[in-house]
Amino acid sequence: LSKVVIIGSTPMPPIFAPFPVEGIKMIARYYKGTGPSREKLRELLSTILYDPSFLTDDVFEERYQASIDPETVELFGKKQGEIPRENLGPELHKLKAKLLAIWGMDDRFGALDVGLQLTRMVPDGQMHIFTRCGHWAQVEHAAEFNRLVLDFLGN
């Protein structure tokens, strides 16, 4: 492993944001109670994107169908909140691979300060932050995202 690209993830707890972050709490609510529904998913997906115009009917339906897959419902419905989250922070300095962390400034699923921590802890880390962007940087800024990743992986 020589290069790693990470997008709005949470390999360690944030310092400045509540944990779990808002988006993770919303996923738990989506599966709890009455379970998944299109109405609950619309609310959830509206927080993933900065620009809601990227949430087309086709994308919405694709995400809904994936969310109601029996294995997904089993995993998130019964185990959400019970799955221990491993804090990889103490181990990150050992990563020998180059790291590119990509974040949306308005990401409500991956706290921005986690990306900053990653970049500081990994010896060969760099970070790119997209403004006017939520959790789906690869969608909301597709062309620039693809260029960044391909350039990083190609060097």
- pLDDT, one tens digit per residue, over 2-60 is 999 999 888 888 888 777 788 888 888 898 888 899 999 999 998 899 999 999 999 99
More confidently predicted of 75 and 136:
136
Which of 93, 128, 135, 141 does the annotation list as catalytic?
135
Helix (H, G, I), strand (E, B) or coil at 55: coil
- 135 as an active site residue: the answer is yes
- pTM, 2 dp: 0.84
Helix (H, G, I), strand (E, B) or coil at 88: coil
Residue 50 has which token pair?
A: 């900065």
Count the residues in the chain: 155
